[in-house]
Structure 1
Amino acid sequence: MKYLTKLILFLFVSSVFSQTNPFDKLNFDKVVAYEFQGNGELLIERCLKEKKDKINKTLELSKKQVNNLEQVLTSKESYGNSTFSCFDPHFAVVYYKNNKIIGSINICLECNYLISSEKIPATELKWIKISDDYSYPAKGFSKITRKEIYNFCKNIGFDKYLKPLNSYLDD
């Protein structure tokens, strides 16, 4: 029985972490990037429904752009830093099927994290140990990932809310 329990646990953990890109399961026909004023934890879904005046720019992404962004956000190396509590996102991508939202990713570089409709396994791989009794997930973007997201936004012309990357997370 003991071995069966360990086997079941191993298979469960393996299946969760073997799926590196949870967005692969989405059946979408377009992905749109949004630059918006997400102050006060305002997510893009609510902006699209109630606060369209908060949206500054939109751009339908190419398949290559979507793949590049997903690769950055789902890599095991993409996380490992702390996060802050502000969560005022200014960049988001929304997955659509027949003009209906089926998935989203809201990103805040100031607090160093994202809120995603799909669970990203890589966000749970690293931990920050405070003591033998306490640790917490290091789900904040790595330095390299912060730069990649920043450059992605700049490359698609989303720079209204971009602030220079000059926090201790970027040194």
Structure 2
Amino acid sequence: MKNFTIYIILLIPFLTIGQTNPFEKLEYDKVIAYEYQGQGGLLIEMCLDKEKEKINKTLNLTDEQTRKLEKILTSEKAYGNTTMSCFDPHFAVIYYLNEKIVGTIDICLDCNYLISSEKIPATELKMIKISDDYSYPAKGFSKNARKEIYEYIKALGFTKYLRPLTSYLDE
């Protein structure tokens, strides 16, 4: 069993080759960014469906803006930190094809992670070790990724829910 575990650990990097950006496989014709109040774990799809009044601002993203966000979120250096237990996202991106949702990303900088419709391999590259028998993925954003995401959101003109980065994750 031990040899099998070692084999799997060595195989994982090869399984993700060419899959660093899972959003590249999506077929879409537009991408829209949303600034919204996602309290209580409200994801953007549910917000659009049942609580549109919580959306503060939207912006159609250019291809360049979309690629920039994907580059930030899929970088191997974007993760490796802890996360908080809350999930109150204030920024989301939806990929559409013929007005139908084909992909989503909801981001909460307060709790330091995202929920994505596409599995992002980089979120599973680093582990937080609790004991010799237990560890879990360090899927929280790194300090640099937090800064990049913050600046990206700010550059889009989304600032209503964007608080300064002053948590212990930013020191």
| 1:103, distance to aligned residue in structure 2 (A) | 0.4
> Which residue of the partner structure matches residue 3 of structure 1?
none
Unmatched 5+ residue regions in structure 1? 1-5
Name the SS of the counterpart of 1:129 in structure 2.
strand
Give the distance between the partners of 1:122 and 1:12, measured in 2 at CA: 12
Partner of 2:85: 85
Letter in 2 for 1:86: C
- 1:84: Cα distance to partner? 0.5
- In structure 2, what is the equivalent of residue 68 of structure 1? 68
Q: Which residue of 1 aligns with 2:111?
A: 111
Superposition deviation, residue 35 in structure 1: 0.1
Secondary structure at 2:66 match in 1:
helix
Quick check: 126-135 or 108-117, which moved more? 126-135
Q: CA deviation at 1:11?
A: 6.1
1:130 is matched with 130
Task: Give secondary structure in 2 for the equivalent of 1:152.
Answer: helix
Deviation at 1:133, TM superposition (A): 1.8
Aligned residue type for 2:57? K
Pairing of 1:48-63 with structure 2 (within 5 A): 48-63=48-63
1:13 shift after superposition: 5.2
Offset of 1:16 from its aligned partner? 2.8
Match of 2:16 in 1: 16
Q: CA deviation at 1:15?
A: 2.8
For normalisation by structure 1, the TM-score amounts to 0.92
**Matched letter for residue 167 of structure 1:** S
Separation of aligned partners in 1, 2:11 and 2:27: 26
**Identity rate, percent:** 66
Query: Does the 8 Å CA contact 1:29/1:97 hold for their aligned counterparts?
Result: yes
Aligned residue in 1 for 2:45: 45
* TM-score normalised by structure 2 residue count: 0.92
Name the aligned partner's letter for residue 122 of structure 1: A
Q: SS in structure 1 opposite 2:160?
A: coil
AA aligned to 1:115 is I
Q: Any runs of at least 4 consecutive aligned residues in structure 1 with deviations exceeding 3 A, and if so which?
A: 6-13
What is the Cα deviation at residue 136 of structure 1? 1.4
Cα deviation 1:17-69 (Å, max 9, x = unaligned): 43100000000000000000000000000011111000000000000000000
Q: For 2:75, give the aligned amino acid.
A: S
- Closer/same/farther in 2, CA of residues 23 and 57 from structure 1, 3 Å limit: same
Structure 2 residue ranges without an equivalent (≥5): 1-5
How much does 1:130 deviate?
2.0
